[in-house]
Every structure is written in C-alpha cells, then in structure tokens.
Amino acid sequence: MTMIGLEIHCQLTNLNSKLFCSCKANYREFEINQNICPVCMGLPGSLPRLNQEAVKKAMTIAMALNCSTPEKIAFFRKNYFYPDSPKNFQITQLNIYGDTSVGGAGSIMVGDKKIRITRIQLEEDPGRLIYEGSSSKNQITLVDYNRAGTPLVEIVTEPDFETPKEVRDFLNILSDILSNLGVADPSLEGAMRADANVSIQGGKKVEIKNIGSFHDLEKAAHFEITRQESLHSRDIEIVQETRHWDDQRKITVSSRSKEEDLDYRYFLEGDIPWVSIDAQTHENLRSEMPESISSKKERYVSKYGIPIQVADVLSSDKFYSDLFEKAHTDSNAKEVANIITTELMGLMDTREKRESSKITSTHLRELADAIQTGKVSRNSSKNALHEILKTGKNLSSVITELELGNVSDESELLEIVKQVISEESQAVEQAKSNPQTINFLVGKVMQKTKGKADPALTLDLLKKQTGIS
C-alpha cells in the first residue's frame, strides 16, 4: 500500500513582523539583505523577542485543524550548521518532552477521508541561498537573509494519503482554511513549501525535501511513486533516503548530503520563557476565529437560498466570500453570489488580475440591485463588470457612458413598439390567434433597442397597442 505523509511549511504572511524581531514578515518587497536587523542576523549579544501575535495565529491554525492545544508552549533549539541560518541553530518547537508545540494531534476531513495531523509547530524560516556561477567548480553561494526569522508554521500529517490526488485535495482544503483564517496568503511565492514522505508496499520510507509549491508536491509524489514502483518491479531494493525535488527537471534526486545522519541536539531555548496559554486565552482565540468555511456554506444555503454548488465555491475562497459578505443585502444575496461565481471568478482568475481590479463591494451591490430592478439586463451587466474592473468608475456612469441602461422610458419605448407593429402586421395578426407570437414581437423590439428595452414594459405596451390580452 502506498503511504504518503506531509510536512507542510506555511509562512504567516499576514503578520507585520518576523517571529523574533520587528523586521517585516513580508520580506518580498525588499532589496537583498535590506530586511534584516541584529536579532534576525543573530549578532552576538542580540536576543529573540517572541512575537505574541504569531503565537496566537499559529494556535488558531491548530484550532482550525482540530488539534489539541497545550496550556504552555515552549521553544527549542535545533542545532545544525548551514549558511542560510545566521545563528547556526533554528528556534523551533518539539514535542518529545511533552506536548509543548502550538498544536498536538488533530484531523481534517478530505471528502470522506480523515487525514490525521500529528502536530503543528511554530518556528523561524531561514534565509535564502542564491547560487551563481556556471560550473560546480566556480560556483558561488550568496545568502539573502531577508527571509530569516519569518514566522513559519509546520504542519505534520500522519502517512494517511494513498494517492497524489488525495494529497492535492488535502492541500486545496488546507490552503482554503489558512486563507480563510486570515493568517496566510498561500498564493504568495514560497509561502507554502513541503516535504513529503513516500513509501510503497515492501519499500522503505523516502523523504522528499524542498518542494516549493503545492502544485509540485502532487507531481513529486506522483514521480516518486512511479520511481519506487519501477524499482520494485525490477526487484531493486528501495532504500531509506532523502531526496530533493528538482524544480527544473521535475524529478526527485537523491541528496548526497548526510542530512539523515544529522543530530540536532535539541534543547530548550532559554532566551524565550514558556508561554502560558490559559483557558481564557483559549476561549478568546476561539471566539475571535473567523467563521469556518463549512459554516459559511451552510449559512449561504439556508439563509439566502443560494444553490449548494454556488455556496461551496463561494465559501471556500476567502477573497470572494469577503467580497460577498460586504456586497450583499438580504434581498440581493443570490444575485451577488451569481455575479461572483459566474462572472467575476472568470474575470479575475489570476493573482495579478485580482490585484489590479478596481471593483469594490459597492459596485457589486449596485450591479446586483440594477439587475434585479431591471435597470440593466443580465447581458449588459457583463459589459458593465468589465468596465468596472478596468476603471473603477461607479455603476451609473458606466451605464451612461456605455449606454447599457434598459430603455424604460414609456414614450420612447412606445414609439419603437408602434414602429414594430406597423412593420410586422402579419405577425400582429397571428398573435391574435396565437399568443406565443407576441414573444417574436418582443424580440423585434429588443433588436431595435440592442437588447436594452425593459422586457416587462415592452410586453405591456405591445399588449395594449395590439389589444391582445
């Protein structure tokens, strides 16, 4: 049986500062080695200052993944020499001397399958190595410490996955949960990384390190299973080893380093006292947690009558569900949900498009209202949406400028109706015996108004003018 376990590293990208100093957690906007200070550079004499907000956010993740949360948390040192680590040890958490990491055992459902979480720990991200030079002989290694000290949450699962698809489904759910909690933006480059342990029936466990994106994680698992199965079929032993994910070639490569043999000599980090998380704090954290995805979904269905598939899509994406929450009223909720899921999601399917879009919740509310009151046809609303995304202009000026408004002025419409009646005398006659034919006349009016005639008013006028009831 194939068994896959994951170690997922998720940066708490929504925090202001790093885990132990006031440098920015969002290091991405900085020039190389500009987001550093004596603390995250581990200068002699500097001491870590624990970011309490990071502890809270990490505990919230533990709670959302149904993990046990301890009364006291502690930090440990993981000792190893590596150039991306300014202190040559990493401050992390450990549960071998009792459960003292932010989260203990937990689980989440992926479809009908329960995936068990082993533990969740809060730790610091190391810096980033940049390799330059053409051959391995004259290769130079540069270090960018901007990332060093970024708050990182490690989520360790039991080996409960049997297929790469299950891994992908889990990751999708996990990343929805994390963004819904408002703790991280999983779409940011490098914000989510993972190691995977893969083994097949009759083989040893192989650890794949350094997988830089969720997308690649599924691929890596797939590659590794295939590789192991192929070895197995040829009666070649599958040895326990650590492999690295080669980002370029999309394959796993055996790492010649002796990482497996490293002895991290864990011990308590004396510079950070134990943090007590009393019952009150637990309660506060729980009550401050944002509504869960499943609860949102249920509410959308039961309160607004939104179809279950639409509610599912809407609730699992924090960006759109936030937009929905701000835009909808009791009367237009269904329409808002409809615009978001059928139109907006297609128009803003990349991060760049989301970020450059000028749409606000007000736009969305007004547009839904306009559709419901017949001011704009559903057809023209698409054009309006395009324009709003691009320009951010308010709905009424978009309608005026693009002439998207329905013709609902009675005298104006009456002239057109009269014109149609005179042009289509044959159809008018037919309509007297066959009331269905009146729809043909409505269609003609629509043609003349380029679809902007108020359909209800048109029908009303046609009936009056032809005497058909």
Partner 1 sequence: MNLKISALEYVQEVQSGNISVEDYVSKTIERISKVDEKIHAFLSVSENVLDQARMIDKKVRSGEKVGACYGMPISIKDNICIKDGKTTCASKMLENFVAPYDATVIQKLKQQDAVFVGKANLDEFAMGLTTEFSAYGASGNPWNTDYVPGGSSGGSAASVSAFECVASLGSDTGGSVRNPASFCSVVGYKPTYGLISRFGLISYANSIEQIGPLTRTVKDSAFMLNIISGLDTNDNTTIDGNEQDFLSGIEYGIEGKKIGIIKEMVGEGTAPEVLAATNDAVSKLEGLGATCEEVSLDMVKYSVAAYYTITATEAGSNLARYDNLRYGYEFPVEGYEFNSYIAKARRRFGPEVTRRMIIGGFVPSAGQAGKYFLKALKVKSKLTREVGEVFERFDLLVAPTVPVLPFKKGEKIDDPIALFQVDLNTVTANLTGRPAVSVPFAISNGLPIGMQLIADSNHDKMLLQAAYALEQTVNLPEVPI
Tokens coding 365 = 């509310």
Alpha-carbon gap, residue 280 to 317, rounded angstroms: 30
The yes or no reply on residue 106 touching partner 1 (CB under 8 A) is no
**Rule CB under 8 A: is residue 274 a binding residue for partner 1?**
no
Please state, as a whole number, how many other Cβ atoms lie within 10 Å of the Cβ of residue 234: 7
Task: Pick from 32, 43, 109, 402 the residue near partner 1 by CB under 8 A.
Answer: 43
Q: Could you say which of 46, 66, 281, 292 contacts partner 1 (CB under 8 A)? A: 46
Q: Binder to partner 1 among 29, 31, 45, 280 (CB under 8 A)?
A: 45
Looking at the Cβ atoms of 141 and 394, the one nearer to partner 1 is: 141
Scanning residues 127 to 146, which ones bind partner 1 (CB under 8 A)? 141, 143
Q: Based on CB atoms, which residue is closest to partner 1, 77 or 363?
A: 77
Burial 88-101 (b: 16+ CB within 10 A, else e): ebbbbbbbeeebbb
Q: Which of 1, 29, 31, 44 binds partner 1 (CB under 8 A)?
A: 44
For 72-105, the DSSP string reads: EE--EEEE---TT-TTSEEEE---BTBS-SSB-S
Q: According to the binding rule CB under 8 A, does residue 18 interact with partner 1?
A: no
Q: Is 467 exposed, middle or buried (0-12, 13-18, 19+ CB in 10 A)?
A: exposed
Q: In angstroms, what is the minimal distance from the CB of 51 to partner 1?
A: 11
Is position 256 an interface residue for partner 1 (rule: CB under 8 A)?
Answer: no
Look at residues 76, 71, 41 and name the one whose alpha carbon lies nearest to residue 59.
71
- In the set 231, 251, 272, 459, which binds partner 1 (CB under 8 A)? 272
Residue with tokens 């989260």: 103
Cβ 50 to partner 1, closest distance in Å?
Answer: 6
Stretch that binds partner 1, among 3-11, 75-83, 418-426, 439-447 (CB under 8 A): 75-83
Q: How far apart are CA 436 and CA 445, in angstroms?
A: 15
Cβ atoms of residues 197 and 232 within 8 Å:
no
For residue 253, the cross-strand partners are 244
Largest alpha-carbon pair distance within the chain?
97
Identify which range of 41-49, 115-123, 243-251, 461-469 contacts partner 1 by CB under 8 A.
41-49
Q: How many residues bind partner 1 (CB under 8 A)?
A: 31
- Among 32, 47, 253, 308, indicate the residue that binds partner 1 (CB under 8 A): 47
83 lies in the binding site for partner 1 (CB under 8 A): yes
Q: Rank residues 267 and 450 by Cβ distance to partner 1 and give the closer one.
A: 267
Instruction: Please give the Cα distance from 406 to 55 (Å, whole number).
Output: 55
Chain residues that interact with partner 1, rule: CB under 8 A? 38, 41-50, 77, 79, 81-83, 86-89, 141, 143, 263, 265-268, 270-273
